[in-house]
Each structure stands twice: as structure tokens, then as C-alpha cells.
Amino acid sequence: MEAGKIAEERTAAGPIRRRPTAPNAATPKDSDMAQIEIRDLRIEYKKPKSEETFVAVDGVSLDVAQGEFITIVGSSGCGKSTLLLTIAGLVPAASGAISINGTAVAGPGPDRAMVFQDASLLPWRSILGNVRFGLEMQRWKKGDLTERALSYIRMVGLGNFADYHPHQLSGGMRQRVNIARALAVDPDVLLMDEPFGALDAQTREVMGGELLRIWERDKKTALFVTHDIDEAVFLADRVVVMGRNPGHIKEIVTVDLARPRTEAMLDGDRFSEYRRRLRASLADDMAQMQLVTEAA
């Protein structure tokens, strides 16, 4: 790819199948095998006090390679979080299919771990106890639970805080615990729904760098929902841009920046080009939301 150019992929629905993937599906590099396959996904909710349904997401097809870091951006209400929850098996699909490692997703499973915006730590448990909790819930049998939990607490830089309780930690530290708990159960896929959304800008930037440092160790397949364009570009191999009414994939932008990523890249010309491209892609939906607000 020429310097400064942005590779784009456009998506269209296609039938579910094993590799090679249909050419009209949104795919990773041809040399990569898809670990996650999504085909013509439709997600609906029943409207309150009505027999009608609301279509949250429709016609989504996407392949994600093993070890790939995908970020998902879009305006509020475009179905980003709904898509992630359906991949997690927490929200059912109305039609279409999702498979991970060739197995259809029919509900939650140990091959996936979810990190939410709220760390959701148990206040009566220590940090060690909270990270152990995920292992206990999965009836972990592959070694000592305490040693494994401690190893992931150290990995996220909190080795000296294992005996502390959540209320004694900052927001950023609590999210590190949340990430450690998710990684400790050794999922194939890490799903993150705006995990840094409640943090201040400075802490959020630090946490982005920390997350990449952790991800570089094992390179778990990751899908990360965010409203922050800079965060989306900085973290991702590819950025999925979603549109609204109903939620759909507008385009996918491949981020051709070297790894490991550095803060200096944020001020570079190529990073600025990706930022402009994504803002342009989101502009129509943002303008429509502004018109709705003004009409109200």
C-alpha cells in the first residue's frame, strides 16, 4: 500500500461458509484464517407494549482473523454494543449466524470474555479475589487459581495491590483489574465495550497504551467498541465503521501503522489522515442526529 493511503473494505451480506470466504464479505488479509465469522446478521428487539419489532442491526457480515485487533466506531444508537453482546452470546440473533473457531455461537461460552465500561468488581472481595472469581466461575482446573490470578494482576501492573479492595483503587486501576479477570480465564476472543469510556482523557490515553502492551504479549483476538476516533485508530488493525437505522457496517478501514504503536504516532500525518477519513465516514449520521435534536 502506498504511504499515507488508507486501505478500505466494503461489506455485503453473504452465506455462512468455511474458508475461503466469499469475496463480498468483509475479510482480514487473504493469508489469515477467520477465527470469527459473522454472516448476514440481524438483531431485533420487541417494542414495549407492542407486537412490533425494532431492528437494531441488519445485514452485518464480517470475518476477523486470529490475533486481530478490531475497533468498532459509530454514532450513538448504531448497534455497536448490541453487535458485541450478540457475539458474546448475551443477546440472540434474529437471523444470520456467528461462528468462532468453526462453532456456532448459541450463548455465552468460555471461548469469549467480556469487559464492560463499568468494571463490575465485587466490593467485598480483594483484587486477588475478584480476579480469582472468573476462574472459580469457570471451574478452572489447569493449575493453582491464586497463582494464576496473581500472575495476571502483575501483568496489568497491580502486583502491589492484590490485597486492596475496589473502593481503594482509581477508575483506571479498577479497569485493569477487569481486564486481568477477563484474560485470566484464557479466552480465545476478548470483547470490550467502551472499557475506558468513564475515564478522564489523560487516564484514557494511558490505559490505551497499557492495553496494547498487554495485548502484545498474547495477541488475543480483540473487538473493542469506542466513540473515540483517535482511540479506535491507535488500537486497531482494522476499524469497523457502523451506520444507523438499522445498524450496519458502512465500511472498514485498515490501519497501516507499525506495531508497537507509540504516542508520537498520534501527531503524525498518516494518523491524521485516518482521523479525517473516519470523521468523514461518520459525518452523515452525526448530522442526522443533530437534526433530530434540533427538531425535538
Q: Is the pLDDT of residue 247 over 90?
A: yes
Residues 193 and 180 in one domain: no
pLDDT at 214: 87
Domain finish residue from 139, 168, 186 = 186
pLDDT at 288: 63
Residues 33 and 161 in one domain: no
Residues 102 and 197 in one domain: yes
Residues 66 and 198 in one domain: yes
pLDDT at 49: 81
Residues 107 and 145 in one domain: no
- Structural domain including 178 reads 121-186
290, part of any domain: no
Domain finish residue from 159, 186, 213 = 186
266, part of any domain: no
Residues 245 and 226 in one domain: yes
Residues 70 and 161 in one domain: no
Residues 29 and 106 in one domain: yes
How many whole angstroms separate alpha carbon 24 and alpha carbon 9? Answer: 9
92, part of any domain: yes
**Treating both helix axes as pointing N-terminal to C-terminal, what angle do 171-184 and 127-137 enclose, rounded to 10 degrees?**
30
Residues 104 and 134 in one domain: no
pLDDT at 272: 96
- The pLDDT-based confidence of 144 (bands split at 50, 70, 90) is confident
Peptide bond into 110 cis (omega under 30): no
How many whole angstroms separate alpha carbon 18 and alpha carbon 131? Answer: 36
Domain finish residue from 168, 186, 204 = 186
288, part of any domain: no
Looking at residue 88, which CATH number applies to its domain?
Answer: 3.40.50.300
Q: Whole-model pTM?
A: 0.84
Q: SS3 string of 283-295?
A: HHHHHHHHHHHHH
